[in-house]
Amino acid sequence: MRFPTYTSGMATTVRHDQRPGLRAHEDSIRLPFAELVSQLRDILGVRAVAYIGGVKSSRSVSTWAEGASTPGETDQQRLRNAFYAASLLRESYDATTVQSWFRGMNPALNDQAPAQVLREGDQMKAARDVITAAKSFAHIG
């Protein structure tokens, strides 16, 4: 897929993989849930995925990653949103930095941790706020 852009009055074509965050968005929608959980677990760690997914047991995360079970729709969407934000950040930072970002106080989120906002906030508002904060951090620093 190509998108037109304009530079100095001239139209140029940009491939979708050149637009920051587009691959993260596509993957958050298209990946089978088990694969998404497996990749998210690799980025954030099992405890953070369990927390965001609304469970206490890391075993639940393993069964999701294996495709043996799935959480409810709300928790699945929360994890897809977390994956989108984590993948955005992973384009610019290592997994340790992404983990710290998800767990730490964030001034763009009223000093709440992004993981907490995703788990406890209104699903749509939380997703929008966390993804906006992730884009800002990934592309501005």
What is the per-residue pLDDT across 10-40, written as a single tens digit (0 to 9) for each?
444 334 455 668 899 999 999 999 999 999 9
Domain-located, residue 5: no
Q: In the beta sheet, which residues pair with residue 91?
A: none
Range of the domain at 63: 19-140
- Mean pLDDT for 86-105 is 97
How many other CB atoms are found less than 10 A from the CB of residue 111? 9
Total domain count, the chain: 1
Domain-located, residue 38: yes
Domain-located, residue 3: no
Domain-located, residue 1: no
Domain-located, residue 10: no
Q: What Cα–Cα distance (Å) separates residue 44 from each residue in 28, 48, 78, 98?
A: 15, 6, 14, 7
Angle formed by the axes of helices 95-103 and 33-44, to 10°? Answer: 90
Domain-located, residue 37: yes
For residue 114, pLDDT over 80 is answered with: yes
Structure tokens that stand for 126 in this block: 């939380």
pLDDT, greater one: 110 or 19: 110
Q: Across the chain, what does the average pLDDT equal?
A: 89
Q: Strand, coil or helix: what is 138? A: helix
- Do the bridges between strand 10-15 and strand 2-7 make them parallel or antiparallel, or are there none, so unpaired? antiparallel
Categorize the per-residue pLDDT at 141 as very low, low, confident or very high, splitting at 50, 70 and 90.
low
- Give the Cα separation of 49 and 125 in Å (integer): 19
- Dihedral angle of Cα 65, 68, 72, 77, to the nearest 10 degrees: 30
The pLDDT value given to residue 139: 83
| Placement of tokens 């405890």 in the chain | 47
- Mean pLDDT for 50-66 is 97
Domain-located, residue 72: yes
